[in-house]
Structure 1
Amino acid sequence: MGQAQSNKGHVPSHEELAKQLANKFAEKCFTSLELFSLKDVFRSLADSEQHVRYLKEDTIARFLEIPDIVGASPMLFQMISFIGAFPFLQDAPAVLGLEQMVMVITIMTQRYERVLARGAADRRKLLFKSLAVYDRRFSNMHLEPAVAGTRNNQEQKGVEKNSDQLVDRTPALGFDVDVAGDDEGDVETDDVDELVLAALDSLDYINVFEPRSMFEIHGAMIPADNFRKLIMLLLLAAPLDPQGSLTTYSGRVSGASLDSLRITAECILATFLDVEQSPGIRFQRFNAIIPSLMPFLFNGFTPLFEHFLFSKSLDFHKRNDGSHTKAAILPNLVQPLLTDEGSIMDLNVLSQLSFFIPGSLLFRRLHLLYSGDDDGFSMGSFEAKVFNWRAPTILLVRGNRLPGELDHRSTGPESAYLSTLPPRRFPPGSSDKVERLTFGIYVGQPWKQTHRECFGGEDTLLFQLEPVHDVFHASALNRDYVSFTKPSSSTSQAGISFGCPPPQSTQAYRRSSVVSLGAVSLMIDSSFEFGCLTHDYTSRGGAFQTSVARKFDFQERFEIECLEVWGCGGDEEAKNQAERWAWEAREAEARRRINLGTGDIEADRALLEMAGLIGANRSGGSMG
C-alpha cells in the first residue's frame, strides 16, 4: 500500500517529502542525459556556503542571459524561489539547491504533467502566487467610486458576514474585480492548490497535511511595474528555441526597438488593469484574462528553463581522438523570425500574436502577401495578392481614431463615411487620449468573394493589439465571420467585414445606405480609407464573442493608415502561391496577344467565346 499507511508511526518532514517529490520528478520527467546535464550545469554555477550548494540571482540571470535593461531578473528570481518550495509554498522563498531546481524546471517547463494526473490547470495560480505581494496597504488603495459606494451601501444596510470569511471592514476593500458578482465565475473561494494536492497524492501523503496549511491567495496582487517587466521578458523569449540564446535578439532591447518593446508590453498590461487607477493585478482578473486572451503567455518559460538541460561540457561532435567533426566548426545559422518587413508587423507584434496564436504558425513561417503601402489601397490589389494563398492568413490594420465631433461639424470623406454608419454610437474602448489603434483577424480558410454567405471557420479570431490587447473568439450564434465584397451595382455594402451580416442585394435594400454592423465586428470600407470596430456587450455577441476584459459597450472609428495581410505557412504554401501567380500571368499574356486584326470578325468572335471572354449566356468553349 501507500507510504501513508506503511509509515503510521512517522510523519515525514516538509524537507523529506520535498526530496521524495524531487526524486520522483527527476525519474519521471527527465531523460538520463537531461538529468546528467542539469547536475553538470548546477555544479558549474553553484555557490557554496556551510556545505550547502545553491544558485544566486545574478548567477541565474547571467546563465539565462536576461538583458539587464529589461529589469526582469528580480521578478524571475522571486518566481523560482517561490516555486522551489513546492509543494510546501508556505516555506518560500527556498534556497535554490539541486532538488529545488528540479522542482522549478519541472513546473516551469510543464513536465509535471507526465507525473501528476490532476492539477494541470492550476499552474496559473502557482505562477500568480510566485509573482504576487501581500501588502494590505496596496490592497486598500484606489477604490473605484462606484464600488466604494456599493460597499458603503451594503454596510449601511447592515450586511454582515461570518467571522470565518476573513472580512476586512476598512473603508477601502480592494479593486472592483474583487466585488462578488462583478465577474461571473472569477471569484476565487478555494485556496487549496490542486497542483499541490496532486503532488502530495502522488506520494500517498495527501491525508497527512491539512489543506488549509497551503499558502492563501486572499489579499495578493502583482504590482503593475513588476508585471510589465516580466511581459517584456516574455515577449523576448516567445520565439526562443530550447538551445537558443536571448542574446540573439539583443537588437530588440536597444534604441527604437526597446521603445517599441515597452509600448507592446504596456498594451498587454492595459488588459489587466488601468495603471492610473490600480497599483496591481488581482487573481480574479489574472485568472479570467490569461486563458481566454493570452493562453500561451508563459510558453517562453519552457525553452528558457530548458537551458539548464543542455550542458556545454557535452560535445557530441568530439571524436575519441579529441578531434572534431566538420559539423562542429560550421557556423550556427539562424533563420530570421520574419523574412519580410511590414508597416505594422515587427518582432514585438509577432511575439504578441504568439500569446494567443500557436507559435508554430508564426515564427519563421509568415510571408507578406499584401501591403497597402506597396501594392495600393484597393480591393483589386488585395484580391490579386491574397486570394491564391491556400493556408491561414492574418490581416492587420492600423489607423488613427476619428474624433467624435466629426459626426456633426466635419465635411469631406470622414463625414461621408460616418453617414454610412448607424447613428447609435458607443464610447471608445480605451482612453480618448490615445489616437493610434491596431486591429487584426486570423482567418483559417482561403479568401474568396462573398455572395450570399460569409466564409471562415470557428478558428477565426478577431483581435485588438493596440492600445489594449483583446481577443474576440468565434461564436456559435451565427457564421458571419468574414465577408469580401467588391463595389458593384448589385450590392449595397462593399468592403471587408468581420462579424457583419453578408451583403444584400440593392433590390431589397434600396432605401437604406447605412451599413449593417454586427454586435462584435470590424468593418473596413471598400476604399480602405476608414474602419469601425463595434463591441455591443449588452447584445452578448454575434459571430464573435464579447470581450472578457472589457465588459461594456464601445466602438472605435478610425482612419486607416496601414493595412497588410500575412500568410501563415512554409515554403510549400509559398511555392503553390507562386505557381498560381505564374499561371495567371501566362493566361493574361496569352489573352493580351490574341490577334484581333485579321479582318475575320467571326473567327475573332469564336476565339473570344472559347476563351470565355464574351458571350454572357454561353459556357467558355461553346461554339453553338
Structure 2
Amino acid sequence: MGQAHSAGGRPFPSREEVTKELATKFAEKCFTPLELFSLKDVFKNLADQEQHVHYLKEDTIARFLEIPDIVGASPVLFQMVSYIGAFPFLQDAPAVLGLEQTVMVITIMTERYNRVLAKGAADRRKLLFKSLAVYDRKLSAQGSEKGTAEAGKTKTQTGKTDTNTGTQPAGRALGFAIDKAGDDEEGDDDEDDELVLAALNSLDYVNVVKHRDAPTTHGAMVPADNFRKLIMLLLLVAPLDPQESLSLYMDRVTGTELESLRTAAESILAAFLNVEQSPGIKFHHFNTIIPASMPFIFNGLTALFEHFLFSKNLDFHKRIGGKPTQPDPLSKIPQPLLQDTGSIMSLNLLSQLSFFIPGTSLFRRTRLLYSGDDDGFSMGSFETKVFNWRAPTILLVRGTRLQDHRSTGAESSFLATLPPKRFPNGSSGDRVTFGAYISQPWKHTHRECFGSEDTLLFQLEPVHDVFRASAVNKDYVTFVKPSAAVAAGHAGISLGCPPPQPSFEFGCFTHDYTSRGGAFQTSMARRFNFQDRFEVTSLEVWGAGGDAEAKHQAEQWAWEAREAEARRRINLGTGDIEADRALLEMAGLIGQNRSGGSMG
C-alpha cells in the first residue's frame, strides 16, 4: 500500500501514517498547548503497556471518569470510544486506544473537530450511532415483520453472533461486525461519512482510501438495553462542568433517586422504540428523533471527556507571584443544581429538560415560582406567583389518566365538556407528565394568545416527546380567569387549543397528527392520533433566569405580602368580622389561594 503512487506522483501513505498525521493536526489545531500537555500527561499516567504499546483499557477509563458501576454504562462507553478511536478508518474498529487514537476520541467527543472540519452535528450524530450499533440478523429479524426461524439462526461474517465486548481487543470485535445490509427503513443513509471525507480532504488524502468496506447504517441497530444504560449516564453528566467530579452526583444513583433516573431513561427510550416489539433502534429513528426532541442529549459528553484535558499534576493554586497560596475554601462549595424542591421537578427531570432546552438556562438557574401543592390550585394564586417573573418559565403538570368507564362525579362533569373520545391513549401506564417552556412573561389573554415561536410543548412521562411551535398558527398560550364576563367553563390555561379547560383539576392533551394545523407541530416519534385525559395531581411553574429576576420577584412578593396584610386588617365598621371578611372575599381581595381546584 505504501509502495504505490497516486496519479499526481504523491506516494500513497499507509493508514498508520494518515492516522498519525490527522492526530497531529487535531492536536495542534483543536487544543491549546496547556490542554495538549495535560492530555499527554493524563494518558501517560493512565496507560497500560504491552509489547512497547501504551493503551487505555475499559476499566481505566471508567475509573478515571468515575462512571458509577450501577449504571452499567462502562462497556457501552468503551465500545463507543473504541470505534471512534479508529477514525478515519472506521472499518478497522475497534481500535487499540493509544495516544493518537485518544486524541481522535477527545476531539470528536468534545466537538473540537469543528475548529478544523466544516461539518456539523448531523455528521457527529451518525458517527455516534455507528459507534453504538451492532449488526445481528437475528436481532434484526425479531424487529421485522419478515422475521422467520431461518433469519433467527443467521450469524455475522465471523460465524458468531454479535456481542458487546468490553475487553481490549486484538483484532476485529464482534460488536462491530456490520456486514451486508439487510432490510432496513427507507431513508437510511449508505453514503460515505462526510466527517471522514472532510478529515481526509483536510490532509489532501480524500482519494487515497476507498471506503466501500466501511460500516454502513443499513441493517445496523443500537441494542435497546445498551442505549438505556447510555441514557442513564447522559442524564447524570448533563450538568457536569469540565473540571467537576462526577462523584459529586453519586447520590443520584442510590435509592429513590436511582429509580427516578431509570424512569426518566425509560421515557426517553420509549421515544425511539417499543422495547416489547423491537430489540433495537434503527438509524432512521435515531437520526429523526434526536434533532427534533433531544438535540442536546450528547452535550454532557463534552464536559465528561474534557476531564482528559486537566492534569492533576498542574495545580495553579501552588504559586502566584512566586509565593505559595491556598485556595479559597468557599470557592469549592458548588451552588446546588436545583435550588428548590418540588413534587414534579427533580435533578433527573431537570437533566431530561436539558436534552432540548440549553442547560445554561436550567442548571443552578431554575427557581420554584408556583406549586399547586403549597400555594393552592387556584388561578389567583397562580397569577400572584407567576405573572411578575420577567424571564422564561417552565410549566409542569402531572396527572393520573382518566378511565371513561370508571368516571364519576367531577370526572364525569369534566368529560362531559369534551367531545366524545375518538383517539386512543398516547401511551400505556397511568401517570403522565406534560409541560411547556414559555419565554415571554405570563399575562391575561383577553383578545389574543401570548407566547412566541420558541415556545415548546412537551411530554416527559411515560414517553419523551417535544412539540415545537408553529410559525403560522400562533395560538400558543392562553390564561383566562373566571369573572362576571367569563364563565367558569371558559376559564383556565391552555396551550395550542383555545378556549381553555375549565379548571386546574383536569387536563386533556390531544395530538391530531392527521390535521397538522395546530399551534404546535406534530410528534416525530408518534405519528398517529392520540389523546390523554387526566386528573391533575401536581402543578408547578419554574422560573428560568438569573439573580436579577429572582430579586425582582422577591421584592414583588414582599410588597404583595404587605398589601395582603393591610387588607386583612381593614375594618369596615360593621362590627361583624365574619361579614366583613365575606364581603372582601366577594370582592376578590382575600381568600383567592384556596386549594383543591377552586376554579371549578
State yes or no: 1:458 paired with 2:453.
yes
Instruction: State the alpha-carbon separation in 2 of the partners of residues 461 and 583 from structure 1.
Output: 32
Residue in 1 that maps onto 2:553 = 577
- Counterpart AA for 1:382: F
Distance 1:449 1:144, change over 3 A: farther
Post-superposition Cα deviations, 1:47-71, rounded to whole Å, max 9, x if no partner, equal: 1111111000000000000000000
- Counterpart AA for 1:500: C
- Counterpart AA for 1:473: R
Residue in 2 that maps onto 1:383 = 383
Instruction: State the alpha-carbon separation in 2 of the partners of residues 388 and 190 from structure 1.
Output: 53
Residue 343 of structure 1 deviates from its aligned partner by 0.3
Residue in 1 that maps onto 2:536 = 560
- State the secondary structure of the residue aligned to 2:126: helix
Post-superposition Cα deviations, 1:331-365, rounded to whole Å, max 9, x if no partner, equal: 61011111100000001000000000000110000
Instruction: State the alpha-carbon separation in 1 of the partners of residues 328 and 41 from structure 2.
Output: 21
Residue 115 of structure 1 deviates from its aligned partner by 0.3
Instruction: State the alpha-carbon separation in 1 of the partners of residues 433 and 115 from structure 2.
Output: 40
Post-superposition Cα deviations, 1:573-599, rounded to whole Å, max 9, x if no partner, equal: 01011222233344555666778769x
Post-superposition Cα deviations, 1:377-431, rounded to whole Å, max 9, x if no partner, equal: 111110110001000000100010001324xxx4310000000012243100112
Q: How many residues align?
A: 539
User: Which 5+ residue runs of structure 2 have no aligned equivalent?
Assistant: 149-179, 575-588, 590-600
Residues 190 and 218 of structure 2 are in contact (CA less than 8 Å); yes or no, is this contact kept in structure 1? no
Residues 449 and 483 of structure 1 are in contact (CA less than 8 Å); yes or no, is this contact kept in structure 2? yes
State yes or no: 1:59 paired with 2:60.
yes
Q: For 2:415, which of 383, 395, 418 is the aligned residue?
A: 418
- Counterpart AA for 1:531: G
Give runs of aligned pairs for residues 289-308 of structure 1, distance below 5 A. Answer: 289-308=289-308
Residue in 1 that maps onto 2:594 = none
State yes or no: 1:525 paired with 2:502.
yes
- State the secondary structure of the residue aligned to 2:207: coil
Greater C-alpha Rg? 1
- State the secondary structure of the residue aligned to 1:297: coil
Distance 1:321 1:124, change over 3 A: closer
State yes or no: 1:333 paired with 2:333.
yes
State yes or no: 1:96 paired with 2:72.
no
Instruction: State the alpha-carbon separation in 1 of the partners of residues 298 and 133 from structure 2.
Output: 16
Residue 141 of structure 1 deviates from its aligned partner by 1.0
Residue in 1 that maps onto 2:493 = 496
Residue in 2 that maps onto 1:372 = 372
- Counterpart AA for 1:111: R
Give runs of aligned pairs for residues 465-544 of structure 1, distance below 5 A. Answer: 465-492=460-487, 493-501=490-498, 503=499, 524-526=501-503, 528-544=504-520
Instruction: State the alpha-carbon separation in 1 of the partners of residues 342 and 256 from structure 2.
Output: 16
Distance 1:189 1:38, change over 3 A: closer
- Counterpart AA for 1:224: A
State yes or no: 1:75 paired with 2:76.
yes
Instruction: State the alpha-carbon separation in 2 of the partners of residues 594 and 139 from structure 1.
Output: 75
Residue 255 of structure 1 deviates from its aligned partner by 1.0
Distance 1:304 1:6, change over 3 A: farther
Residues 128 and 283 of structure 1 are in contact (CA less than 8 Å); yes or no, is this contact kept in structure 2? yes
- Counterpart AA for 1:216: T
- Counterpart AA for 2:481: K
Distance 1:463 1:119, change over 3 A: closer
Distance 1:330 1:531, change over 3 A: closer
Distance 1:412 1:205, change over 3 A: same
TM-score (norm: length of structure 2) = 0.86
Give the alignment's Cα RMSD to 1 decimal.
Answer: 2.3
Residue 488 of structure 1 deviates from its aligned partner by 2.2
- State the secondary structure of the residue aligned to 2:129: helix
State yes or no: 1:438 paired with 2:433.
yes
Distance 1:188 1:257, change over 3 A: same
Distance 1:9 1:456, change over 3 A: closer
- Counterpart AA for 2:464: H
Distance 1:275 1:402, change over 3 A: same
Instruction: State the alpha-carbon separation in 1 of the partners of residues 35 and 189 from structure 2.
Output: 39
- State the secondary structure of the residue aligned to 1:197: helix
Q: How many percent identity over aligned positions?
A: 72
Residue in 1 that maps onto 2:124 = 123
Give runs of aligned pairs for residues 257-276 of structure 1, distance below 5 A. Answer: 257-276=257-276
Residues 191 and 217 of structure 1 are in contact (CA less than 8 Å); yes or no, is this contact kept in structure 2? no
Residues 397 and 563 of structure 1 are in contact (CA less than 8 Å); yes or no, is this contact kept in structure 2? yes
User: Which 5+ residue runs of structure 1 have no aligned equivalent?
Assistant: 149-165, 181-186, 504-522, 599-612, 614-624
Instruction: State the alpha-carbon separation in 2 of the partners of residues 167 and 108 from structure 1.
Output: 27
Give runs of aligned pairs for residues 164-179 of structure 1, distance below 5 A. Answer: 173=183, 178=185
